Amino acid sequence: MLGFLYLLLSAGFYGFSNAFWKKAIQDAPFLQVIFLRGLYTTSFFGICYLLDLKWGTFEPWLGIRPDFSAEQLGLSFLLCLFSSFGLYFFVRSLKTEAVSLVAPISSINVFGLLTAVLFLGESWGMNYSFALMCIVAGIYFIFQSDWHFDSLNAFLKALGGSVLASFFWGVSYTLFKYPVTWLGVIPFTFLLELCVTLCVGLFLVFQKHPWQPLSHRPIRILALCIMAGSTFLHIAYQTATVTQIIFISKSQLVMTLFFGQLLYREKLTLPKLLGVALLILSIYLVA
C-alpha cells in the first residue's frame, strides 16, 4: 500500500511536469531547457548526497545509506548512460514531429514488462494481461486524434525512434531496481540526473546552436517536479514490484491530462475520457 502511495505522488509530480513542458519550451530550445533543468536537479541531489554522507540527514526517511562497491557504482553508471540513449532517440524523433507517436509507445512500456518478467523473475498474473489490454486501448483513445503524418516515410521514422526510445527507457527503468538497492535513493538519483545532464550537454555541443538567454522560473518549476517525482519513484522501487511500478505509473498520463486541462483549458473529448477510464481500470486491476 505504501508503494502504491509513493507511485501516485510520483505520478502527480511527473504529470504536472509533463503538462508544464508546453509553457517551459514555448519560446525556448528544447535541449537547452532540459540541460538547465538538469543543472538544477543534479545540484540539488548532489547537495543532498553530501548532507546525507556527512550527517545522515535523510536517514530517518530513507534509512541508512548502503555501502556500495566500485563495481556496483560502475554498473549503475553504465545503466544510467544506457538510459540516456532513450532521451537521444526521443529528441531525434521530435525532428519528424513524432511526439504524438513517441509518447504512447513509450507509455505502453512492453520492453520494461518483458525485462521484469524474463530477467527479474517477476510473476505475470491474468490481471496483468487484462490491465495491459486496458492500457493499450486507453492510450489509443487518448492519442489517436493527434496522429497526423505527411508521408509513410515520416511515419516509419517516427515509429523507429519511438520503439528505440521505448526500448532504452523500458529496459533501463526496470533494471533501476538494482542500483537503487546498491547505492540508495539519493546517490542513484544524483547519478542518473548527472548522466542525463552530461548527455544533453554533449548534444548541445555537437549541434552547435547559439546559447539563448532564458527565463529560469519555468525551468525551476520543472526541476522541482522532477526532484519530487524521481525521489518518490525511486523510493517505490524498495516497496513495490517493478511490474506494479510500470502499470501504476500509467497514472502519469491521467495526471498530465488533468493538469493540461487546468493550465491550458484543453478540452477533454469523449475518446480521451474513455481512454482515462481504461487507464484507471488498469491501475485498479494491478493495485
Contact 165, 106 (CB under 8 A): yes
What's the residue count for the chain? 287
Task: Name the DSSP letter for residue 145.
Answer: G
d(CA 159, CA 102): 7
Contact 108, 166 (CB under 8 A): yes
The pLDDT-based confidence of 15 (bands split at 50, 70, 90) is confident
d(CA 89, CA 159): 11
- pLDDT value of residue 251: 80
- pLDDT value of residue 98: 46
Torsion sign across C-alpha atoms 274, 279, 283, 286: positive
C-alpha cell of residue 267? 478540452
Our CA angle for 220, 226, 230, nearest 5°, is: 155
- pLDDT value of residue 146: 65
Which residues, 6 or more positions from 28, have their beta carbon under 8 angstroms from its beta carbon? 212, 214, 215
d(CA 250, CA 258): 13
The one-letter amino acid at 82: F
d(CA 137, CA 135): 5
pLDDT over 60 (residue 99): no
Which of 228, 182, 207 shows the shortest CA–CA distance to 91? 207
Which residues, 6 or more positions from 224, have their beta carbon under 8 angstroms from its beta carbon? none
C-alpha cell of residue 109? 512500456
In this prediction, residues 206-227 reach a mean pLDDT of 87
Torsion sign across C-alpha atoms 53, 57, 58, 64: positive
Cα dihedral 99, 282, 118, 166 in deg (nearest 10): 0
pLDDT over 80 (residue 25): no
- pLDDT value of residue 156: 66
Tell me the pTM: 0.86
pLDDT over 50 (residue 94): yes
